[in-house]
Amino acid sequence: MSDDAIEPTEDNGAPAAEKGDRIAKVLARAGLCSRRDAERWIEEGRVAVDGQVLTTPAVVVTPGSIILVDGKPIKEPEPSRLWRYHKPAGLVTSHRDEKGRPTLFESLPPELGRVISVGRLDLNSEGLLLLTNDGELARKLELPATGWVRRYKVRVHGAVDPERFLPLAQGIVIDGVRYGEIKVEFERQKGSNAWVTVALTEGKNREIRRVFEHLGYVVTRLIRLSYGPFQLGLLPRGAIEEVPRRVLRDQLGLGAAKDKGATTRKMLSLKDKPAAEPAKARVRPPKPHRAVEPPPKRGRRAEGRAQGDPHPAAVAKPVGARATRAAGKTESTRKPGGPRGADRRR
């Protein structure tokens, strides 16, 4: 080592360890997969670091590490992005389905790139589903520790007794599985069906359907309305919209650096996929700013009023003594001997 080369040291004089992250975390952050998928890829021998095929996910890599997946180097991590997606019923929330059923990822626009879902909605459920290119972000948003409330609109077959839902606020155990606090609000009974709103902070598999079935109710439709601060709103069925960068900063503390077009809202139609370029955002352009000008003056009556004076129509009619004086003045202006109808103003 030359005299000019200085090896980095810690405060105690020992060589400083270069900072790094677990390999599964790096792959998830790169948007390739979730942490769980990364661990499975490692078990399958698909991941290599610095020329060595990994056999365990308990490996820390540094920015200087050469990481290959299926023999190809991974890309630099992209800025975290998040989308709202209105999932229709009939799609599986999975990249692959062993039964050959259609998956929502197969129907997404190709220019979207590889994304993963934040949680899941089962085959027959619909509504808001968050998608992201950041596996680490997806994992964090799925954790009940966030305390985010997930709201659903649920249709139940048969007559509903709202009192039966009250104990769910304390949680319930079904077949050895503990379900946390569930709040149910009865909306209306319509014929043989009833609509209720359900709020919970967990996301166990088929949680609402299983709890309602335990109470003797059959769920015939389930729509997720919100996930934490993100709302389904008027997003059309099957459409996807990117969450603006400023919202990610405000709600999640992400993306401090500004990206080109980061605040643009993208609406991608899944029915009309563009061949060469991404679909244009279905967003109304802001109206141009126009200076406020005073209304044009009309006639002599407008000219006789100073700017800021109230319009004659806005002046209150005289009441009390003022009304009496006004009435007397009107009486004195009547023509003598005129017909009774002449008292009226023309």
Tell me the average pLDDT across 102-129: 92
Q: Are 28 and 35 in contact (CB under 8 A)?
A: yes
In a shared domain, residues 113 and 237: yes
Residue closest to 74 by CA, chosen among 18, 140, 28: 28
In a shared domain, residues 245 and 214: no
Where is average pLDDT lowest: 61-65, 125-129, 195-199? 61-65
Where is average pLDDT lowest: 5-14, 105-114, 167-176, 239-248? 5-14
> Which one of the listed residues 122, 250, 259, 343 is annotated catalytic?
122
In a shared domain, residues 91 and 134: yes
Q: Judging by DSSP bridges, how do beta strands 47-49 and 218-227 pair with one another?
A: unpaired
C-alpha 345/C-alpha 342 separation (Å) is 8
Is pLDDT larger for residue 237 or for residue 96?
Answer: 237
In a shared domain, residues 107 and 222: no
Give the percent of the chain with pLDDT over 70. 68
Give the percent of the chain with pLDDT over 90. 47
Answer yes or no: is 192 within a domain. Answer: yes
Q: What's the pLDDT tens digit per position in 36-78?
A: 889 999 999 999 999 999 999 999 999 889 999 999 998 877 7
Give yes or no: 97 in active site: no
Looking at residue 298, its pLDDT comes to 54
C-alpha 300/C-alpha 126 separation (Å) is 65
Domain count, the chain: 3
In a shared domain, residues 90 and 220: no
Looking at residue 296, its pLDDT comes to 54
Looking at residue 5, its pLDDT comes to 37
CB atoms within 10 A of CB 92: 20
Work out the pLDDT band at 268, boundaries 50, 70, 90.
Answer: very low
C-alpha 177/C-alpha 312 separation (Å) is 74
Q: Which domain holds residue 129?
A: 82-144+232-268
Average pLDDT score, the chain: 76
Answer yes or no: is 295 within a domain. Answer: no
Work out the pLDDT band at 97, boundaries 50, 70, 90.
Answer: confident
Work out the pLDDT band at 302, boundaries 50, 70, 90.
Answer: very low
Where is average pLDDT lowest: 5-9, 14-18, 124-128, 211-215? 5-9
In a shared domain, residues 216 and 169: yes
In a shared domain, residues 241 and 127: yes
Looking up residue 31, the CATH number of its domain turns out to be 3.10.290.10
CB crowding 234-244: b at 16 or more within 10 Å, else e: ebeebbbbbbb
SS3 95: coil
Answer yes or no: is 304 within a domain. Answer: no
Tell me the average pLDDT across 255-280: 38
In a shared domain, residues 110 and 173: no
DSSP letter for 241, please: E
Looking up residue 113, the CATH number of its domain turns out to be 3.30.70.580
In a shared domain, residues 219 and 169: yes
Answer yes or no: is 324 within a domain. Answer: no
Answer yes or no: is 112 within a domain. Answer: yes
